[in-house]
Structure 1
Amino acid sequence: MAVGKKFGTFAGVFTPSILTILGVIMYMRLGWVVGNAGLIGAIMIIILAHVIAVSTGLSVSSVATDKKIGAGGVYYVLSRSMGIPIGGSIGIALYIGTAFSIALYLIGFAESFNNYFGFGTSINDVRLTGTIALVGLTALALISTSAAIKTQFFILAAIIVSLVAVFFGNSSFEPETVKMFSSEESIPLEVVFAVFFPAVTGFTAGIAMSGDLEDPKRSIPRGTLYAIGVGLIIYIALAVFLAYNVDSANLKSDYNILMKIALFAPAVVAGIWGATLSSALGGILGGPRILQAMSVDKVTPPIFGKGRGKNNEPVNALFLVFIIAEAGILIGELDVIARVVSMFYLTAYGFINISYFLESWANPDFQPTFKIKSWIGLLGFMACFAVMFKLDMLAMLGAFAVIAALYIWLQRKEVKLQSNDVWRSVWENVVNKGLKKIDAEVDEKSNWNPNIILFSGQSEHQSYLLQLGKTVSGRTGIVTNFKLILDKENNKPLKRTEQIVRDETFTDLGIFARQIKVSNIYDGITNIATTYGFSGVEPNTIMMGWPKGLENSTEYSKMTTTLIHLDYNLLYLDFDRNQKFGNYKTVDFWWRETDSKNAEMMLNIARFIIASPRWNETSIRVLFVNNNNVDKVLIHNKIHELVEDLRVSVEIIIINNAVEQKPFYDIIEDFSENTDLTVVGIPNFGVEKQAKFVLKTNHLFETIGSTLLVKAANNFNVLDLDFIKKE
């Protein structure tokens, strides 16, 4: 398909931007600003407003020179940088805001037009004139974008002539002394700033034409910054001129003062009409292109993505703009809408700035040809939201609520782009810096933050082991599940991309999942335990199902010895397939004199279990077997002290066994037969005793419910449970 005429910097960016900047605020309110704020106050307001304009202009210019800029202006920049949910929510808000702003401009035009020619000024008269103007401008845009762009040249000429007429006019209102600052009877400066600020929000009009530019990377930075710069110079020059030529009383009270001091008043009238009509025309040209770009990305209905002619003119999107703008004109009273609309613009500018800051800070592939300091984007972001808060907190909250709703909707819609957004780079940068900080700190027996390697196997009960693994890891712990695929030959390992498992079961629990081929299960577990992890977040715990029937396996014994040598915490779950975890109501922790390190680990597990939603109503008991006839009160007080330090609410039970000397496991059978989860420490035993321990433990599991065996690593503190020393 043939490509229609594209526009350069002056016609495509500078002209629509400067025409929106030099609008009704300059003609109808700048004198009022100077009268209330004084010359110095007015200049400060102008400069402060331009801090946002300049920082946003610099930010969008830098982003525009890094990657190809397509149609859609601000939407395109944000969606390709920060992702569809943010780009789309801001884009929709900007589209609606742009459509309503057209109504605002045309209502202003209609009031001035009707008043000048002596037509009616009732709300119905304003609606009629505004509607006629809207139909005319829409027809012009439908006939030809090129013709609309050329029309803007005539309007620009009219504005220039009007400014010349003002600067060369004769004033009979010269003040005796120039008022430099605001006085007590003047309107507060924040209110004056709120009235003036919309004057600097027009510089994105040119960016919206990005899809119709010959060279967006060149035109957007130049055209945008030139427009902002020229606007700043004109506003400051006009403020100085008005302060020295008109007294503050007339500046405050007479909105038409420029016409009265101009060399030729009709020239100013033509400038006002040109400014309002050109601003409306800029919205009519730019708004549909935002909607068209969003429809191409499937954010909005595809029907609005269809265009006409060589340049793919967004006709369908233009009709929707017409309907929204006409609705605004028919409403007539748009004060509340106007407040929220201005917030949408400020929100968009804030996100443009933070987008640049994040790109420059986190994205290693961000290489713009137009380079600026990254702090400029952060400054612009903070300035935008500070101004929003100061101007109208309720309108700001309204804008945020709408944008948040759009964001949530687009996230659920799951629209994907082929390009990556900046958030991945941000998280990678944060993780990188965090890992370096963690790795630089010496770990001196700090609180246990579990990083669990989980071997859950493949069975219908796998989900319960996964569930408990996530429970005992706590809110901030990490769990990585490994599926071991037995392949005796194992000549060809899985590709890296094939090793990553993305399954709904793991995603819902927040568990990372991997799968690898191994020639031997026990060697595979040992290899993973030896090599998996990286600096700063090394795994510290191995969790798996209890290995029944392996009491005579030398491979299992070798694996366990290696895991203990590597100083991992070990968690073995014997899962009761009939009772499962019962009602998630009772947990028993069994202590004995030899459980000095296991005890502290159990108390950490108890804290995590209580914090879990599924176990939050559970009753926890700590049961201690007193084999040495030590005073029960002494033991109870000591355990209570330990438990209280770790802020875990438990019931403490002391079982005297000095006389009967019943085997430890027999006592567990008596007390924990109906417990939903029993937690028992693994004692220190040599390889020669391992088979006997497994056999005894298997017998225990036949009589009680689900049981978790724990073996603490050396990083846990030794709790003094050998109370016989106290006698």
Structure 2
Amino acid sequence: MVLQIHPSLEEARTVVTEDVNEKDGLSGQANFPCAYTAPRSKVNLGVMLGVFLPTIQHILGVTMFIRLAWVVGIAGIMDTMILLLLCCLCTLLTSISLSAVATNGIVESGGVYFMISRNLGAEFGSAVGILFYLANTVASSMYIIGGIEVMLLYIFPSLTIGGSDVHSDTGMWGMMSHNYRIYGSMLLLLEVIIVAMGVRFVQLLAPVSLFVVIVSILACFAGGIEKALHHSGQHVCMLNEQLLQSRIFFPHGTDLSTLCKRCVKSEDISDDFCNSTTASFCTHFTASTLTCANAFPGINAQTFYENMKRMYMDAGESYPDVAADDAGLEVSQDFHTSFFILLAIYFPAVTGIMTGTNMSGDLKDPQRSIPCGTIAATLTTSTIYYALALLFGASITGPVLRDKYGRSLDSSMIVALLSWPSPWVVIIGSFLSTFGAALQCLCSAPRLLQSIAKDDVIPALAPFSKVTGTNEPFFGLLMTALIAEFAILLGAVDKIAEVLDFFFLMCYAFVNLICALHSLLKVPNWRPRFRYYHWSLSLTGAALCFFIMFASHWQYALFSIILTFVIYKYVEWKGAKKEWGDGIRGLALSTAQYSLLKVEDKDPHPKNWRPQLLVLIYDTWSNGIIDKQNVNLIDLAGQLKAGRGLAIVIALIKGSVWNCSDRQKAEKVKEKIQHDMLRVHLRGFGKTLLYDEDQMDGCFTTLFQSIGIGGLKPNTVLMNWPEREEEKAVFAVELVEAVANDECIMLTKGITAFPSLSSDRLTGYIDIWWISHDGDLLMLTAFLLKQNKVWRGCKLRIFAIGEIPERNVELKEMLQKYIYMLRINATVFIVDDSVNQKDVSETSTGGDCSAAALMIATKEGKIDHKNQKLVKDAASENTEIQTETTFTRDNCSSLSKRHLSVYSQGEKEFHDDENWKMPSLGTIKRFNDVIVGNSKDSQLVLLSLPRPPISKRKILSHYMFYVDTLTLNLQRILFIGGSGKEVVTINS
């Protein structure tokens, strides 16, 4: 049942009493379809069996037994404490963020995937969820191989196919690697059968294996105390400060208690050293002292102090800056070590904090169990790691700690020899730790896959959404087992595991980002029951995750991020659309609100001016021609998007908001607009406007005054010249109201001939007729069009009409200089004054701001210094160019008193239509002849929009006839009329 936005008391009570997994979600969440083949049966695990014990079992893996002592020996106790602090702090901060997110609403099956997808969106959730699934799946292979290694090296060496001699044959096709493949496949099959028996059976086994692991840890502490009291630790043979391998003194399998009897400089030993090594090392051996030292003195202050110093070494060194002999008689390091390399090696030991969260679908009360169990498990394991590190540093000598493979002790497990009463306690415990960790991975990974498949974000995963009657994702288990088997057969599990650690870190980072994001945005729905969180802790946790990733292996970190991005884009492209109210959208809204509040509600600086388009289209979409007009107008807006401005497309629909059919029609038209905008990659908003015929004026007045928010509002109206009689009345209102509201106007004529984005690229000319002060605006528009692939092949030509023939050359030079300063490539042509320039200027949107008038005013000093557009005389190279060059309509009015303007002198109010008069028909035809004679074959002609009257009657009776006559025999025309606020500067 879905809880409605305004539920009744009975509805709310019903939702609360229902099984959480039976319902679809709460208010504001998605309604998820059920993908189950049978009724679900929850296991209802509690904090202990459901979260705490499984998480501890997953974290306390074999790395703790075989690598922690070596890390202490190499890094020293102090650096190890810092290393553990980074690892444990990362997981603790993530656990805190996880607890906050998990208690902010119902957590269904899928755990961490569910939380990320519902908070950061389906794309991020799927990307991180798939990586986390792969990490858990292949981690099970890593644990299984680790268990087989413990079994064949320490428990049952006789089971090794090929005998113990092949233990070191670990190449890709080595015999020991084949042993790992064979026995690993068998152990994987056994674990899959156990997991298939059900999660409750697995969790009942968890305390048993975990009990043995805890006993193993306690045995280590007991051994440290016992050896300090009785001095019964195993001894090793050393040459001065260098540790020697035991194989020098006796064959493999010999009792280690006899080592001291053989650690003497006998003739046989001396011959082995001098015959197998270089002369310099033979001399070194002869001059050095061979001693049998206690490797496990037990807990004591001297050993603790000696192990404080760091001992980072390069490959092949037996001591810092001391190379080992070539024959391998000394214990040496097999690769270069540093703090961050050790960090990368040991970090897998602290992963697994999400184990209980991944079992969320089987928890009785996830909101209680996840915080308590996860944080308790994290603190418990962190305490264990710190205690063991201090124990090893105080109980085992440094050279033996650095013996990673136990070569000085007949390849024995170092930590096992410390334990009491028997090394077998730790050996069995380490094997069971790998067995239990693999079980937890195989148990949680299929549930993660089933959750991703159930949400149907990736259609290919649909078969894995089904579960059995006992809520077991059997198909997901089979897929998980198949991937794990492939990883085992591949052989390079250690290399794969290094990359998978970064997948875990990516998941942890996103959980921290979720908590920080919601805490900072303070969204009303962010009300977690877990109160002990803070956004600063979450950001620290996320930063720590990325720091560990890049500090360890930046190549793997980049690979993980790129893979996450690839999966994100794939889900965005192929996945189903889900509206889950994600935090990314909330962040976008908050950022937009902040930016809008920072942008002042006033005209932008000339440098920042760009066309913010308001595209007006008509409502008729059934007629093919009209449909093409609307589509081509949207295409043209898409071709102008190089301006990077706002785009709002509004369809004008005649109808009433009270009429249901009109509103349905408006909704369909809106969908069509949004589809066309998406097709041409025009980013913006598609809307519809319903208007009554008797309210037309008020509708458009309100539209132009109210559209936009703050400083982000349209400044340019893109509209089409009406072709049908019923459109002309609407066009007249649009034009008058746009002019009245100081909007820049772009008016297309012949829109059906304009190219679409899918058209072939045009070649030829784009002609600009500079008649009024809008010439620079026309050039900017042509420049923006040329950035699009459709118009890129066209060349710009600028035509200006010369009033004074003897100054035409000078006029051309000045225009070329001005265009050069605008950084626009165009060719300038001066047309003889075959048509009266005064008549042409009278019809423009401003006064006489033509190219000729501009030149004359500049030469005569009639443009004041502040607003001068061109102060550099073409004839003088020493004149300095003014850096602040703006030119507005107010300046235009003062240039020449011979020409009329839409504004009266000193006022910005419209006057009666007596100020507007249509030029004579002969003048219009002569001007048309001039344009056609020069631009008939051009791909596009840009003209200044003739100044319209303010009377709709005069627009319909005179103005439209005038414009039609002016544009006869021209294919594509784009009129541009500035409001006087648009400026194009020569500034950078």
TM-score normalized by structure 2?
A: 0.68
Provide the residue aligned with 2:637 in structure 1: 469
Task: Call closer, same or farther: CA 1:127–1:184 in 2, change over 3 Å.
Answer: closer
Q: Please state how far the C-alpha of 1:29 moved relative to its aligned partner.
A: 0.6
Calculate the aligned-residue CA RMSD, in Å: 2.9
Aligned to 1:604: 780
- Give the equivalent residue in structure 2 for 1:346: 505
- 2:399: which partner in 1? 249
Counterpart in the other structure of 2:426 = 268
Cα distance change, pair 447–654 in 1 and its aligned pair in 2 (3 A): farther
Distance 2:199 2:657 in 1: 68
| 2:981 aligned with 1:715 | yes
Match of 1:102 among 134, 140, 145: 140
- Out of 666, 669, 686, which is 1:513 matched to? 686
User: Residue 415 of structure 2 aligns with which residue?
Assistant: 258
Q: How far did 1:182 drift?
A: 1.5
The farther-off stretch of 560-569 and 400-409 is: 400-409
SS in 1 for 2:719: strand
The amino acid that maps onto 2:469 is: G
1:67 to 102, 105, 111: 105
**Structure 1 position 353, deviation (Å):** 2.1
Unaligned stretches of 5+ residues in structure 1: 721-727
Distance 1:364 1:612, change over 3 A: farther
Q: Is the 8 A contact 2:722 2:728 kept in 1?
A: no
1:46 equivalent in structure 2: 84
> How many angstroms does 1:684 deviate by?
4.2
SS at match of 2:670: coil
**Aligned partners of 2:762 and 2:790 also within 8 Å:** no
Whether the 8 Å CA contact 1:438–1:536 is kept in 2: the answer is yes
Q: CA deviation at 1:578?
A: 5.7
Alignment partner of 1:117 out of 150, 156, 165 = 156
Opposite residue 435 of structure 2, the aligned amino acid is: L
Q: Is the 8 A contact 2:606 2:985 kept in 1?
A: no
* One-letter code aligned to 1:513: G
Change beyond 3 A, Cα 1:472–1:93: closer
Q: Are residue 28 (structure 1) and residue 66 (structure 2) matched?
A: yes
Match of 1:482 among 603, 627, 650: 650
- In the alignment, is the contact (CA less than 8 A) between 1:307 and 1:316 conserved in 2? yes
Q: Which has the larger radius of gyration?
A: 2
Counterpart residue number, 2:126: 88
- Given the superposition, is the C-alpha separation of residues 436 and 201 from structure 1 closer, same or farther in structure 2, using an over 3 Å criterion? same
Query: C-alpha displacement at 1:685, in angstroms?
Result: 5.8
Letter in 2 for 1:325: A
Alpha-carbon distance between aligned partners in 1 of 2:480 and 2:568, rounded to the nearest angstrom? 22
Q: Does 1:217 align with 2:367?
A: yes
Structure 1 residue 556: deviation in Å? 6.0
2:945 alignment counterpart: 682
Instruction: Write the distance in 1 (CA, Å) between the matches of 2:754 and 2:218.
Output: 90
> Is 2:338 the counterpart of 1:188?
yes
Q: Is the 8 A contact 1:557 1:687 kept in 2?
A: no
- The Cα shift of 1:553 comes to 8.0
The match for 1:571 is: 746
Q: Does 1:232 align with 2:386?
A: no
Change (3 A) 1:441 1:31: farther
Correspondence for 1:414: 575
Query: Cα distance, 1:644 vs. partner?
Result: 2.6
Please show how residues 392-431 of structure 1 align to structure 2 within 5 Å. 392-417=553-578, 419-431=580-592
Shifted more, 266-275 versus 368-377: the winner is: 368-377
Aligned pair 1:324/2:483, yes or no? yes
Pair 202,549 (structure 1): closer, same or farther in 2 beyond 3 Å:
closer
Correspondence for 2:707 among 532, 539, 556: 532
Query: Where does residue 302 of structure 1 map in the other structure?
Result: 462
> Does the C-alpha gap of structure 1 residues 543 and 43 become closer, same or farther in structure 2, counting only changes over 3 Å?
same
Describe the superposition over 1:369-417 as per-residue Cα deviations: whole angstroms up to 9, x where unpaired: 2242223333323322232223223333443444333333322223234
- Counterparts of 2:927 and 2:525, CA distance in 1: 62
Shift of 1:292: 1.5
Counterpart of 1:672 in structure 2: which amino acid?
A: S
Q: Check conservation: 1:78, 1:351, Cα contact below 8 A.
A: yes
- For residues 440 and 224 of structure 1, do their structure 2 counterparts lie closer, same or farther at Cα, with a shift above 3 Å needed? farther
> Matches of 1:548 and 1:524 in 2, distance apart?
22
Residue aligned with 2:976, SS: strand
Q: In structure 2, what is the Cα distance between the partners aligned to 1:197 and 1:55?
A: 15
Counterpart pick for 1:370 among 509, 527, 530: 530
1:672 to 2:965 alignment: no
Answer yes or no: is the 8 Å Cα contact 2:629–2:752 preserved in 1.
Answer: yes
Is 2:329 the partner of 1:179? Answer: no
2:201 to 147, 159, 183: 147
- Find the counterpart in structure 2 of residue 723 from structure 1: none
Give the letter aligned to residue 153 of structure 1.
P
The structural deviation recorded for 1:518 is: 1.2
Q: Does 1:702 align with 2:870?
A: no
Q: Is 1:628 paired with 2:816? A: no
Matched AA of 1:678: V
Shift, 1:184, TM fit: 5.2
The answer (yes or no) to whether the contact 1:6–1:213 under 8 Å persists in 2 is yes
Who is 1:355 aligned against?
Answer: 514
Give 1:646 shift. Answer: 2.7
Instruction: Name the amino acid aligned to 2:449.
Output: L
Which residue in 2 is equivalent to 1:725?
none
Query: Which residue identity is paired with 1:387?
Result: I
1:494 to 663, 669, 682: 663
Q: What is the Cα deviation at residue 446 of structure 1? A: 4.3
**C-alpha contact 2:519 2:526 (8 A) present in aligned 1:** yes
Please name the residue that 1:541 is paired with: 716
Report deviation, 1:590. Answer: 0.8
Superposition deviation, residue 605 in structure 1? 0.8
Map of 1:5 onto structure 2: 43
Distance 1:707 1:554 in 2: 21
Question: 1 CA distance for matches of 2:50 and 2:973?
Answer: 72
Letter in 1 for 2:512: N
Displacement of 1:314: 1.4
- One-letter amino acid of the counterpart of residue 308, structure 2: M
Distance 1:488 1:502, change over 3 A: closer
The answer to whether the Cα contact below 8 Å between 2:657 and 2:690 also exists between their aligned partners in 1 is no
Q: How far is the alpha carbon of 1:138 from its aligned partner? A: 2.0
Aligned pair partner of 1:385 in 514, 537, 546: 546
Amino acid at match of 1:9: V
What is the rounded CA distance, in whole Å, between the counterparts of 2:111 and 2:63 in structure 1? 24
Larger deviation, residues 394-403 vs 697-706 = 394-403
Query: CA 1:447–1:658 in 2, change beyond 3 Å: closer, same or farther?
Result: farther
SS of the equivalent of 2:937 reads coil
Q: Distance in 2 between matches of 1:427 and 1:399?
A: 25
Distance between the aligned counterparts of 2:666 and 2:309, measured in 1?
A: 66
CA distance in 1, matches of 2:727, 2:473: 77
Equivalent residue, structure 2, for 1:637: 813
Q: Distance in 1 between matches of 2:116 and 2:649?
A: 36
Question: TM-score normalised to the size of structure 1?
Answer: 0.91
Residue-by-residue CA offset, 1:242-294 (whole Å, 9 max, x unaligned): 11222211111045222111112222122211211111011111111111112
- What's the CA shift for 1:422? 2.1
* Aligned pairs (5 A) from 1:129-148: 129-148=183-202
- Equivalent position amino acid for 1:328 in 2: A
2:649 aligned counterpart, secondary structure: strand
| Residue 280, structure 1, aligned to residue 438, structure 2 | yes
Please give the alpha-carbon distance, in whole angstroms, between the structure 1 residues aligned to 2:769 and 2:150.
Answer: 86
- Alpha-carbon contact 2:720-2:751 (below 8 Å) kept: no
Whichever residue aligns with residue 86 of structure 1, its letter is F
Q: Which residue is equivalent to 2:880?
A: none
Give the equivalent residue in structure 2 for 1:291: 449
